[in-house]
Amino acid sequence: MNRIKMTKYLGLLTALTFLLGGCGQTDSTKDQTNKESTEQAEVTTFPLTLDNYTVSSEGAEFSGKEITYESRPESIVANNQGTAELLLQLGLAEDIKGVAALYGEGDETVAEDFSSIPVLAEGYVGKELVVGADPDIVVGRGQLFASTEWGTGTVEELNELDIQTYIQATSTSDATFDDLYVDIEQLGKLFAVEESAQKFSDDVQSRMEEIVAGVPDNQETLDYAYIFGAEGTNVNVYSGAVDTYLNDALSYMDLNNAFADATGEISVEALLEANPDILLLVNYTGGRAPEESLADLKANDALSSLTAIQEDRVYTIDYNQFWSYGYQILTGMEQLSTELYSTN
C-alpha cells in the first residue's frame, strides 16, 4: 500500500472510530457485551440537538446551525433520489412521503421500497409541492434548500411553516468522505434507528476498504476532468471544484481532480492545457446519450492531443451515484476501479 493510500486509509479508520466508537457509552471497559452496546445504540432522547446547516437563498453559501428537534420526525420529504435511498438503507421506507430529482441509476438493493415512494417531481422540486406533501422534515442536498423555482425553499422559510430540515454534511462546502459517516450517525439519532445506522456505517467502511485495497501499490496519481456531454465541437467541461466530497472520495483511488482549484467555466483550451489522464463522462437523465457524446469527443480534432482520448481512457459515470452526495459514490467508484485497474 503506497503512502498516499495508507494516509487516506488511516484517516478513514480514525474518523470512523471517533464518530462511532462511543455510541453513547459512559463505561470504557472493553469487555462490555454486544447486547449492552446494542441496547445503548437504540436509545435516542428528545429534545435532540444536532449540529447542522443553513444555506443562503440561492443555495451557494453554508453556515453552521445548531438545530433542536423536539421529537422524532414521522414524515419525510427527500429532496433528491440519493437521499431517499440513504434513508431506505436505515429502514425508513414507511416514513418517506415524497422524493424528487430522479437523475440517474437507482440502487437495486432498495429499488422495491423506492418504487413505493410518491414522486413529487422527476426533476428538482419547488417549495409548493414540498409543502403540499405535509412533511415533518425535509432532508437532502444543501444546494437545493434555495428560494428559487427549483428549490425546496430555504431552511428559514420551511421552519416558518413548522417543517424541520436536515442538510447532508456531505453536500456542504469543504465536505470530505468522512462526512458520510457524520450523516449516517446523525440521521440514525434523529430517526431513532441508531443500530441500523451503525450497521450501515460498518458496511460503508468495508466497501471503502475494498476499494482502497484494489488500487495497485505502484499506482501513480491520475488526473481527471468531468465532461457533462459533448455535441459536435461543443464540449461541456465541469470543474467540480465545489464538489469536495467527490474529490476527496476519489482521492482514495489515487485520482486527482485537475480543476479542483478552478473558478468559473472551463474552456477547451484549459482542458487541453491540463491534459488530464482520464475523462469522466457524466450520464444523467435528460442528458445526451453518453455513447453519442463519446463519439463526438473522439471525432473532435481539437481534442485529439488529449492523453485520455489517445489512450481511450474516457469512462462513463452516473449522476445519481456521484452527485447525490451519499453512499452511492461507492458503487460508482467500484465500477470505475474495475475499468481502471482490473487489467493492471
* 21 has a pLDDT exceeding 80: no
Residue 38: pLDDT band by 50, 70, 90 thresholds?
very low
Same domain for 196 and 292, yes or no, is no
Bridge partners, residue 54, by sequence: 63
* 317 has a pLDDT exceeding 70: yes
- Give Cβ neighbours of residue 287 (< 8 Å, ≥ 6 apart): 228, 229, 319
Question: pTM, whole model, 2 decimals?
Answer: 0.87
User: What is the C-alpha to C-alpha distance for residues 100 and 145, in angstroms, rounded to an integer?
Assistant: 13
> What pLDDT shows up at residue 44?
83
User: What is the C-alpha to C-alpha distance for residues 139 and 145, in angstroms, rounded to an integer?
Assistant: 9
Same domain for 199 and 267, yes or no, is no
Query: What confidence tens digit (pLDDT) does each residue in 241-269 have?
Result: 999 999 999 999 999 999 999 988 999 99
User: What is the C-alpha to C-alpha distance for residues 62 and 52, in angstroms, rounded to an integer?
Assistant: 10
User: What is the C-alpha to C-alpha distance for residues 102 and 84, in angstroms, rounded to an integer?
Assistant: 10
Please, what is the average pLDDT of the chain? 90
> What pLDDT shows up at residue 24?
41
Residue 33: pLDDT band by 50, 70, 90 thresholds?
very low
* 1 has a pLDDT exceeding 50: no
Asked if 81 and 104 count as a contact pair (C-beta separation under 8 A), the reply is yes
Mean pLDDT in residue range 94-119: 97
Same domain for 242 and 188, yes or no, is no
Give percent of the chain above pLDDT 90: 84
Domain membership flag for residue 110: yes
CA 113 to chain centre: 20
> What pLDDT shows up at residue 39?
44
Asked if 330 and 208 count as a contact pair (C-beta separation under 8 A), the reply is yes
Mean pLDDT in residue range 5-14: 53
Same domain for 155 and 290, yes or no, is no
* 100 has a pLDDT exceeding 70: yes
Residue 91: pLDDT band by 50, 70, 90 thresholds?
very high
Residue 43: pLDDT band by 50, 70, 90 thresholds?
confident
Cell numbers for 168 = 447532508
Query: What confidence tens digit (pLDDT) does each residue in 139-186 have?
Result: 999 999 999 999 999 999 999 999 999 999 999 999 999 999 999 999
Same domain for 15 and 84, yes or no, is yes
Length reported for the chain: 344
* 99 has a pLDDT exceeding 60: yes
* 122 has a pLDDT exceeding 90: yes
User: What is the C-alpha to C-alpha distance for residues 153 and 54, in angstroms, rounded to an integer?
Assistant: 11
Residue 102: pLDDT band by 50, 70, 90 thresholds?
very high
> What pLDDT shows up at residue 343?
58
Same domain for 38 and 138, yes or no, is yes
Same domain for 75 and 163, yes or no, is yes
Mean pLDDT in residue range 322-337: 96
Domain membership flag for residue 217: no
Number of domains observed in the structure of the chain: 2
Domain membership flag for residue 27: no
Domain boundaries, position 233: 222-341
Asked if 252 and 5 count as a contact pair (C-beta separation under 8 A), the reply is yes
Same domain for 16 and 140, yes or no, is yes
> What pLDDT shows up at residue 278?
98
Same domain for 95 and 191, yes or no, is yes
Question: The CATH number of the domain where 7 resides is what?
Answer: 3.40.50.1980
Asked if 55 and 32 count as a contact pair (C-beta separation under 8 A), the reply is no
Mean pLDDT in residue range 201-220: 96
Which residue, of 173, 188, 211, is where some domain finishes?
211
> What pLDDT shows up at residue 29?
38
